[in-house]
């Protein structure tokens, strides 16, 4: 199911490029924003980055690193989620219009192909140190730094889960029996369809 869905949501880069080129030639093309990343375990920082990026134009394209690309960047054991699943999750966000994949070490080829109006990067960058800055300047692409301060990361999430597992503790946010949740006392394992851990148990 995931593979079938991903085949639908993952656009071919050159096909999308041709679509945008035709729209621009008609004089009525959308203002295209391009964002990119691994998005291996989606977190709130990702969502805020993409929502901000989408606000900078009419159409948001998200370029995802392929699995091989992530292994090269992050090392063995990554990605935690394969491309087909990451693509499906990103495509499900209301602010995202198109999802493409790229296997190159940087975004230069995708920028040259899609020719977006805006290249959106997260707040761990500045306009001066975006890796593809020279390409953006050459092509007349606006650089936009988007999202909230860089205080969320997939690596931190992984480290936190591993630490909890090593210490034998429940994951952050688990509740003890007797806790009041939305006016309902937790007496068993489930409140309004949500599994709740007893003390020392993991969900």
Question: Whats the size of the chain, residue-wise?
Answer: 203
Question: What mean pLDDT comes out for the span 122-131?
Answer: 96
pLDDT band for 80, please (50, 70, 90 cuts): very high
pLDDT at 157: 53
Are 147 and 122 in contact by the 8 Å Cβ rule? The answer is: yes
Higher pLDDT, 140 or 183: 140
Distance between CA atoms of residues 52 and 46, nearest Å: 10
Q: What is the number of other CB atoms lying within 10 angstroms of the CB of residue 29?
A: 16
Residue 177 lies in a domain: no
Are 181 and 175 in contact by the 8 Å Cβ rule? The answer is: yes
200, pLDDT greater than 70 = no
Using only the alpha carbons of the chain, give its radius of gyration: 20
Give φ, ψ of 137 to 5 degrees.
-65, -40
Distance between CA atoms of residues 52 and 144, nearest Å: 10
Distance between CA atoms of residues 54 and 182, nearest Å: 34
Residue 12 lies in a domain: no
Residue 69 lies in a domain: yes
Output the CA angle 110-35-84, nearest 5 degrees. 80
Higher pLDDT, 6 or 19: 19
pLDDT at 28: 86
Segments forming the whole domain that contains residue 31: 27-149
Residue 34 lies in a domain: yes
Query: Which whole-number Å values give the CA distances from 31 to 22, 56, 72, 106, 139, in the listed order?
Result: 13, 8, 32, 23, 15
Count of domains in the chain?
1
Residue 134 lies in a domain: yes
pLDDT band for 161, please (50, 70, 90 cuts): low
pLDDT at 177: 39
Q: What is the number of other CB atoms lying within 10 angstroms of the CB of residue 69?
A: 19
Residue 199 lies in a domain: no
Q: What is the model's pTM?
A: 0.74
Distance between CA atoms of residues 81 and 10, nearest Å: 15
pLDDT at 156: 56
Per cent of the chain over pLDDT 90 is 65
pLDDT at 178: 40
Query: Which whole-number Å values give the CA distances from 105 to 32, 38, 44, 69, 119, in the listed order?
Result: 22, 12, 25, 7, 17
pLDDT band for 154, please (50, 70, 90 cuts): low
Dihedral sign from CA coordinates of 122, 127, 129, 134: positive
Distance between CA atoms of residues 153 and 45, nearest Å: 7
pLDDT band for 174, please (50, 70, 90 cuts): very low
Residue 201 lies in a domain: no
pLDDT at 149: 82
Residue 139 lies in a domain: yes
Distance between CA atoms of residues 187 and 16, nearest Å: 53
DSSP string across 178-189: T-EETTEE--SS
CATH number at residue 128: 3.40.50.620
């Amino acid at each position: 199911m995931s593979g079938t869905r991903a085949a639908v949501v993952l656009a071919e880069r050159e096909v999308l490029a041709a679509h945008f080129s035709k729209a621009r030639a008609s004089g009525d093309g959308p203002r295209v924003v391009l964002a990119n990343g691994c998005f291996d375990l989606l977190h709130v920082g990702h969502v805020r980055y993409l929502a901000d990026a989408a606000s900078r134009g009419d159409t948001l394209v998200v370029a995802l690193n392929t699995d091989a690309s992530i292994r090269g960047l992050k090392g063995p054991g990554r990605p935690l989620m394969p491309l087909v699943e990451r693509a499906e999750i990103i495509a499900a966000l209301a602010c995202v219009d198109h999802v493409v994949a790229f296997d190159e070490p940087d975004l230069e080829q995708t920028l040259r192909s899609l020719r977006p109006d805006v290249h959106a990067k997260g707040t761990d960058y500045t306009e001066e140190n975006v890796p593809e800055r020279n390409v953006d300047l050459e092509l007349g692409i606006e650089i936009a730094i988007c999202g909230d301060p860089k205080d969320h990361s997939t690596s931190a999430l992984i480290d936190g889960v591993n630490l909890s597992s090593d210490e034998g503790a429940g994951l952050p946010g688990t509740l003890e029996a007797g806790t009041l949740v939305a006016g309902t006392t937790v007496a068993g394992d489930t409140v309004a369809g949500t599994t709740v851990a007893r003390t020392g148990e993991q969900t």
